């Protein structure tokens, strides 16, 4: 199932810009809300994977909405995207369940925060073990993941090149003290 991201912002131009940004980063479906109350209603219907709230909105602002989300949907990660970033806003937002506050001027920071949040909430990322991997649908589009066969082909090419080889320690990790 594709990732669903709910954005709540009272400015239609900001919502459009965020939708375009998130769609270009291939995050999946974007759901729009124009205030905190609208966001809560849509979240209860759609069950998004992450919610991005503006701070200053009519009807219900981002802090009140975050408090309500934390009460009724405690598992949904919350981010705040605002023009009014400050350490005080960040502290107040974290008190009501927001994981991170990102300034609206920092679109790369927003993308990074979404990636970190989705990856940290992924069942694959939390299971641990050597086979732990990030699900492909959570990686940004520009991230290339090589299948095992391609990795083997690259190793074979590297082994046949004239570049000096770097030998791996044979007893690495077995606890011997050679």
Domains of the chain as residue ranges with CATH:
4-138 (3.40.50.2300)
Quote the tokens at residue 41.
Answer: 């209603």
Who contacts 154 (Cβ-Cβ below 8 Å, separation ≥6)? 146
Quote the tokens at residue 150.
Answer: 């391609």
The model's pLDDT over 134-173, given as tens digits with 9 standing for 90+, comes to 344 443 443 333 333 333 333 333 333 333 333 333 343 4
Q: What is the pLDDT of residue 9?
A: 98
Helix/strand/coil percentages in the chain, nearest 5: 45, 15, 40
0.75 exceeded by pTM:
no
Compute the distance between CA of residue 43 and CA of residue 165 in angstroms, rounded to an integer. 54
* pLDDT exceeds 60 at position 120: yes
């Amino acid at each position: 199932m594709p990732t669903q991201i709910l954005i709540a912002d009272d400015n239609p131009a900001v919502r459009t810009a965020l939708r375009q940004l998130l769609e270009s980063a291939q995050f999946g479906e974007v759901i729009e809300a124009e205030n905190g109350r609208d966001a809560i209603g849509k979240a209860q219907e759609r069950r998004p994977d992450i919610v991005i709230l503006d701070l200053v909105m009519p009807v219900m602002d981002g802090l009140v909405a975050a408090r309500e989300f934390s009460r009724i949907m405690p598992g949904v990660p919350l981010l705040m995207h605002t023009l009014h970033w400050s350490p005080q806003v960040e502290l107040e937002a974290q008190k009501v369940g927001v994981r991170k506050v990102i300034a609206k001027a920092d679109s790369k920071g927003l993308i990074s925060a979404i990636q970190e949040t989705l990856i940290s909430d992924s069942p694959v990322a939390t299971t641990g073990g050597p086979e732990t991997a990030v699900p492909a649908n959570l990686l940004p589009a520009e991230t290339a993941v090589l299948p095992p066969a391609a990795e083997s082909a690259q190793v074979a090419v590297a082994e046949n090149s004239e570049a000096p080889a770097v030998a791996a320690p044979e007893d690495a990790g077995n606890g011997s003290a050679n």
